[in-house]
């Protein structure tokens, strides 16, 4: 899987602060996810078959399964939009053939209210 940071930054204007500033820890965590083919396949299954937003599955895995603290606090708007943009780029430009659909998420700890799930075109 090929992540192209330069292309990501061009496609998702305004993500520079997420990639290089206050969202960096979330960005690095996402890049680690891209190396985990098994986890990615589970996240993709949850999206494709169960209709669960990939971000929701990712947060549940990191917080509830691995017991990491990274998603246990309120995220800034930049961080929320940035991590959402990462999944948008993954499904739209790397997997291809998907379109996003916003759905209610409402995570009390991060204060993320909505997340995208992706449907095949």
Summarize pLDDT for 85-110 with one digit per residue, the tens.
Answer: 999 999 999 999 999 999 999 999 99
What is the extent of the structural domain holding 87? 5-120
Q: Label residues 11-41 b or e (16+ Cβ within 10 Å = b).
A: ebeebeebbeeebeebbebbeebeeeeebbe
Average pLDDT, the chain: 96
Instruction: Give 97's DSSP letter.
Output: S
DSSP-assigned beta bridge partners for residue 101 = 117
The secondary element (H helix, E strand) that includes residue 120 is: strand 112-120
Total structural domains within the chain: 1
Label residue 44 by pLDDT band (50, 70, 90): very high
Measured CA to CA, the distance from residue 54 to residue 104 in angstroms comes to 13
How many other C-beta atoms are found inside a 10 Å radius of the C-beta of residue 7? 12
Identify the residue with better confidence: 81 or 1: 81
Q: What is the pLDDT of residues 23-37, one digit of tens each?
A: 999 999 999 999 999
**pLDDT beyond 80 at 1:** no
Mean pLDDT of 35-53: 97
The secondary element (H helix, E strand) that includes residue 77 is: helix 77-89
**Residue 67: per-residue pLDDT:** 95
**Residue 88: per-residue pLDDT:** 97
């Amino acid at each position: 899987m090929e992540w192209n940071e330069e292309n990501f930054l061009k496609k998702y204007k305004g993500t520079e602060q997420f990639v290089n500033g206050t969202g960096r820890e979330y960005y690095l965590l996402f890049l680690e996810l891209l190396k985990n083919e098994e986890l990615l396949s589970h996240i993709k299954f949850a999206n494709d078959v169960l209709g669960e937003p990939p971000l929701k599955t990712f947060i549940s895995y990191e917080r509830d399964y691995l017991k990491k603290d990274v998603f246990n606090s309120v995220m800034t708007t930049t961080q929320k939009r940035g991590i959402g943009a990462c999944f948008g780029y993954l499904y739209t430009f790397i997997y291809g053939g998907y379109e996003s659909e916003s759905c209610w998420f409402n995570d009390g700890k991060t204060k993320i209210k909505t997340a995208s799930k992706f449907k095949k075109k």
